[in-house]
Amino acid sequence: MSRLFTEHGINTMSVKNRFVRSATWEGRAGEDGAATADLTEMMTTLAEGGVGLIITSHAFVSPAGQATPRQLGIHDGALISGLQEMVSAVHAHDAKIVMQLAHAGIHANTELTGQAALAVSGTDDFPQGAVRVATVADIEALVSSFAQAAGKAQQAGFDGVELHSAHGYLLSQFLSPAYNRRDDDYGGSIGNRARIHLQIYRAIRAVVGKDYPILIKMNCADFIDNGLTGDDALTAATLFADEGFDAIEVSGGTILGGKLSPSRPKIATADQEAYFKEYAGRIKNATNVPVILVGGVRSFEVAQAVVADGTADFIAMSRPLIREPALVNRWQSGDRRRAACTSDNLCFKPGFAGSGVYCVTAEKETMKQSNAG
């Protein structure tokens, strides 16, 4: 049996295989951030499809941190009952589910929040008045918000929580010199830029206890001018592992884009896949915690090689599972053809149109075949 279909642990959580559904915005939550029947059905379909561990979309820990419409929230106790139903549905299919905790920071949607976006430091990139720079009191409040959100996730039955410190969201902004130009204890050295992460970890751990899995998703590099470098990311990852984080999910790049990123809009061949694997390998070699690799995996052979050679412990996918939620079951049944996802990114357009994220290309192909018949 392939190692991809063997169990592996993250703290006290045992995952039945090495496949992770990486967090993505689904656009299926309620306007207030509530878990809807539509979103629960999507999570259930992933669990039925064989995914061992599902990580929810970035759930905002405070109203000011919302990034997108119909984004999942974890800021209000009133949301817990809906989340409990979602968790129970996933558990019924022998899968685990982790809540990703997030704050968009300077990239918050001010039209949705009605508040100024919170910047790590001063910037000329946004209109005056649209942002305000975080004070130390704001940072203390953020630490508390993340800890309280983790407590709500635990109460709802989630198997763990993951901090979103990738792609230019708030915690990623603290790590990145492109965003973080502070001259206090939270700016300058990579140790200072990682300080809020360690404070949040300690605050969460005080709420959830020592046996509850706490993961972190982080950039291996920003791939933008003056962004987080691979060397600084490695230092930060070591700090996180030493502090006690139970797993590190390795991603890269920011929502600002940039030509420096190795990620690709089209992935046609095996050599274009797993584009962050060298960085993940460095982090795996430097730490003693499970590493989750996300980014461009489309073929079973690539996934198997990454786990077999010890580059990472888990393979995370997002877009392939939007098109084929049963991809893991297909591979496990012996059908090892590459994922059908064409990496065209069209799946997010219906999300912004209010219909939720889904594979537009698959829908078009189905309609074409129907018309041809």
Work out the percent of the chain whose per-residue pLDDT is above 90. 83
Q: Please tell me the distance from the alpha carbon of residue 312 to that of residue 294, in angstroms, as a whole number.
A: 10
Write out the two tokens for 352: 């912004």
Q: Where are the beta strands (DSSP E) in 113-271?
A: 117-119, 131-133, 160-165, 214-219, 247-251
- State the pLDDT confidence band at 126, using cuts at 50, 70 and 90: low
Q: Please tell me the distance from the alpha carbon of residue 52 to that of residue 202, in angstroms, as a whole number.
A: 27
CB 214 within 8 A of CB 158: no
Bridge partners (DSSP) of residue 15 are 8
For the 3-338 domain, the top CATH level (class) is alpha beta
Q: Please tell me the total number of residues recorded for the chain in this structure.
A: 373
CB 214 within 8 A of CB 153: no
| 3-class state of residue 42 by DSSP | helix
Mean pLDDT of the chain: 93
Average pLDDT over residues 32-50: 97
Distances in Å between the Cα of 196 and the Cα atoms of 139, 161, 288, 367 are: 8, 17, 22, 49
pTM metric for this prediction: 0.96
Q: Give the model's pLDDT for residue 35.
A: 97
Q: Give the model's pLDDT for residue 307.
A: 97
The three-state (H, E, C) secondary structure of 281-327, written as one string: HHHHHHCCCCEEEECCCCCHHHHHHHHHCCCCCEEEECHHHHHCCCH
Q: Give the model's pLDDT for residue 361.
A: 83
Q: Give the model's pLDDT for residue 255.
A: 87
| 3-class state of residue 44 by DSSP | helix
CA–chain centroid gap for 71, Å, is 13
Write out the two tokens for 138: 């704001």
| 3-class state of residue 3 by DSSP | helix
Q: Please tell me the distance from the alpha carbon of residue 314 to that of residue 4, in angstroms, as a whole number.
A: 8
CB 340 within 8 A of CB 368: no
Work out the percent of the chain whose per-residue pLDDT is above 70. 94
Q: Give the model's pLDDT for residue 78.
A: 97
How does pLDDT run across 179-208, given as a tens digit for each residue?
A: 999 999 999 999 999 999 999 999 999 999
Q: Give the model's pLDDT for residue 130.
A: 85
Nearest to 218 by CA among 165, 263, 176, 262: 165
Is 169 a known active-site residue? yes
- State the pLDDT confidence band at 358, using cuts at 50, 70 and 90: confident
Bridge partners (DSSP) of residue 102 are 60
Domain assignments of the chain as residue spans, ordered by start: 3-338
How does pLDDT run across 261-289, given as a tens digit for each residue?
A: 776 667 888 989 999 999 999 999 999 99
Q: Please tell me the distance from the alpha carbon of residue 72 to that of residue 33, in angstroms, as a whole number.
A: 4
